[in-house]
Amino acid sequence: MIVRIEGTGGREEAWAMLDLQGKVIRRDDQPVDGSLIGDLTQSPEDPMLVDLRIAGMYKLSGKKEKLKRPFVVMQKNTEHVVKEGATSYKVLGVVRWRIKFYSEPDLIIRRSETGEEL
């Protein structure tokens, strides 16, 4: 799965490839394309370690790896036709990182102020 990582605090956006063990399926059977699947956070101790929190209930832990051969994400340009029979593409971004998740999701158990599990 290729994802766009939006920059915060003035940082530019980046692209990464998520390597998941299994499928990402929505409960309402709608396509996952364009959907927010969770929040990526980097470990303050080691920026190569990454957590993905899915809908606030599950956590996947993974490792960030630099790709040996980056690749581009392109979109077919349908607005401007250069000449008949020719196809042009717009470059959306460059994928430079792979985030590999090795394990199954961990359930995040939260406790209310009274101490009972939510």
Q: What is the pLDDT along the chain (118 residues), one digit of tens a residue?
A: 566 665 555 555 678 888 887 777 777 777 777 777 778 888 888 878 888 777 667 888 889 899 999 988 888 877 766 667 677 788 888 898 898 887 777 777 655 555 554 4
In a domain, 118, yes or no: no
In a domain, 93, yes or no: yes
pLDDT at 69: 93
In a domain, 115, yes or no: no
In a domain, 117, yes or no: no
Question: What is the count of structural domains for the chain?
Answer: 1
User: Of 44, 42, 35, which Cα lies nearest the Cα of 4?
Assistant: 35
pLDDT at 118: 45
Q: What is the extent of the structural domain holding 85?
A: 2-107
Is the CB of residue 71 less than 8 Å from the CB of residue 94? yes
Beta strand 14-19 with 2-5: parallel, antiparallel or unpaired? antiparallel
In a domain, 56, yes or no: yes
In a domain, 45, yes or no: yes
In a domain, 114, yes or no: no
In a domain, 112, yes or no: no
